Structure 1
Amino acid sequence: MAPNENAGVWSEMAEDLKQRGLKQVQLIIADGMVGLQPALLHAFPKAKFQRCLVHVMRKIGSHVRLKDREAILNDFKELRSATDVTAAHKILNDFYGAWEKLYSNLIQQLKSIENELLAFLSFPPAIRTTIYSTNILESLNKRIKHKTKPKEQFPNEKSLDNFIGVQVISYNEKYFNRSHRGFGQVKDTLESLFD
C-alpha cells in the first residue's frame, strides 16, 4: 500500500475508508505497526484498540531465554481465558510478579500497552477468541500468498492487483452468508453498539 509505515500513511488510509463509507468502528485489532494506533484512533475516536495477543506472544518468545520460553508463554496465554477485566488484571499482575526480575524491560513494555491487551474483554465472550488477534486477516493473507506463489512473476503491478482482487472477491463470495464463530450469537448485542 505504501513504501513505509507511519502515521501519515495510516491517516490517509483511514480517511480513504471514511470517504468510501466507513462511519463507525468499535474495535481496531493490530500488531505494533508504527503510527497505526494514533492515526486510526484519531479517525475513529470511539473505537477500542486491541493489540494482537499472538503478535505479543511472538515478541515475548523472541525476548526471553530459550529455557524460559515455554513457561513464560504459558503464563501469558492465561490472559486469553480471562472472564473479565478484573480477572485479566490479576493474571497480568501475577505474570509481572513472576517474570519481572528476569525480564524487567519486557515487563515494562507490556505494562505500557496493558489497556491494548485487554480491549477484547469489552465485547461479548462468544467472540473474544476471534478478536484478541489478527488471525482472521493473517489467514486471508496466507491464502493470497499461497495463490500467488506458483505464479512466479506478474507482467506488471496492475496484473498483480487484479489477481489479488479476484482472490479477495472469491473469498468474500465464499464466506458472504456466514458469520464467524460466535458472531451470530451476539448479533443483536453488537448492533446495539452502533448509533
Structure 2
Amino acid sequence: IDGVNFNMRIARDIETVPILAAIGVTKAGHRLVLGLQSGDKESASNWREFFKDLKVRGLDPQNVTLGIMDGLPGLEAVFKQEFPSAKVQRCQVHVARNVLAKVPKKLKGEVADDLRSIFYASSRKKAMEFFEQFKKKWKDTIPSAVSCLERSINACLTFFSFPEEEWISLRTTNIIERLNKEFKRRTKPMEIIAGETACYRLLAFISLRMELHWRSNPIGKVRNNLPFLKELAYEKFTQKS
C-alpha cells in the first residue's frame, strides 16, 4: 500500500491531490490493483476509510495475510485493526533510509553494509544474530540509529515467515512504487489532470495494462522454474554436434 500525488483541476483551482493505492497478490502470485481513492497518504484515518471501502467492495479480511508498508505513524495499527489476521512487513528501504539519516557521513557506507547483512541474511535467526552484532558495534557511537532500527527490526523480518521464493518481493514496497512510477510517467505530459473523475479513469486504464503485463511474471514463480530451465540449458549445450 502506498500513495502518490497528482495535480488536478478542482473547480477553478489547481490542487495537489493524493491518491491512495493498494496492490493485492493472489495465492497463484498474480498482482491486482485492489483500489484507488483520493485521500491524504499521511493520514491514518484516511487509510482506515480506504481499507473499509476495500472490504465493502468484497475484500475478505480473512484472506489478507500480509501488508507491506512504509513507516507512516498509525498506519500499521489501523491496518491490523481492519485486517486482524494479517502480518505487517515494514519496507526495508524506508527503514534503512531512516537509520542512515541518523548516521554521520563518514560512517554511512559501513553502516549500510551492516544493514544489508541483516536484511539479506539466510534466515530470521541469522538476521537477529547480525542485528545483535549491529547493536553491540554501534550503540555507543550512533545510539539514535540503533534505536531507530530496533523499533522496526521485527516488522522488517516478517518476510521470513513466507516461502523463500517470495522473499525478494516481500522485503520492500517496490511492487507498488513501480506502479506509482508508471502512473507518473503516463500522466507527466498532461501536467494537470482535469478533475478527480478523469484521474480515476486514467489510472484505472493504466492499472489494467499493468495487470496484463504482470500476468507473465507471477510473484514467487520464477525460482520454481529454475530447475526446469537449468535442465533445458544442460540438454541444449551438451547435444552432440
Report the TM-score when normalising by structure 1. Answer: 0.87
Q: Distance in 2 between matches of 1:175 and 1:77?
A: 28
| Mapped pair 1:84 → 2:84 | no
Equivalent residue, structure 2, for 1:192:
none
3-state SS in 2 of match to 1:101: coil
Equivalent residue, structure 1, for 2:110:
71
Report the TM-score when normalising by structure 2. Answer: 0.71
Q: Distance in 1 between matches of 2:204 and 2:223?
A: 27
Equivalent residue, structure 1, for 2:42:
5
Equivalent residue, structure 1, for 2:191:
152
The Cα of 1:6 is off from its aligned counterpart by: 3.0
Equivalent residue, structure 2, for 1:162:
201
3-state SS in 1 of match to 2:157: helix
Counterparts of 1:1-195 in structure 2, within 5 Å, are 1-3=38-40, 5-23=42-60, 24-182=63-221, 185=224
Task: Tell me if structure 2 keeps the 8 A contact 1:25–1:46.
Answer: yes
Amino acid at match of 1:173: L
The Cα of 1:83 is off from its aligned counterpart by: 2.1
Unpaired segments of 5 or more residues in structure 2?
Answer: 1-37, 226-241
For the structure 1 residues 122 and 176, does the alpha-carbon distance in structure 2 shift closer, same or farther, using more than 3 Å as the test?
same
Amino acid at match of 2:179: L
Task: Tell me if structure 2 keeps the 8 A contact 1:28–1:47.
Answer: yes
The Cα of 1:85 is off from its aligned counterpart by: 1.9
Q: Distance in 2 between matches of 1:74 and 1:150?
A: 39
The Cα of 1:35 is off from its aligned counterpart by: 1.6
When structure 1 is superposed on structure 2, of 59-68 and 172-181 the one drifting more is 172-181
When structure 1 is superposed on structure 2, of 114-123 and 8-17 the one drifting more is 8-17
The Cα of 1:184 is off from its aligned counterpart by: 7.5
Q: Distance in 2 between matches of 1:170 and 1:53?
A: 28
Q: Distance in 2 between matches of 1:117 and 1:98?
A: 20
Q: Distance in 1 between matches of 2:97 and 2:171?
A: 14
3-state SS in 2 of match to 1:113: helix
Q: Distance in 2 between matches of 1:184 and 1:90?
A: 27
3-state SS in 1 of match to 2:224: coil
Deviations 1:51-89 (A, max 9, x none): 100111111222211111111011101123222221111
* The structure with more strand, counted as a fraction of residues: 2
For the structure 1 residues 13 and 114, does the alpha-carbon distance in structure 2 shift closer, same or farther, using more than 3 Å as the test?
same
Equivalent residue, structure 1, for 2:19:
none
3-state SS in 1 of match to 2:64: coil
CA-based RMSD of the aligned residues comes to 1.9
Pairs aligned (count): 186
* The structure with more helix, counted as a fraction of residues: 1
Q: Distance in 1 between matches of 2:127 and 2:186?
A: 39
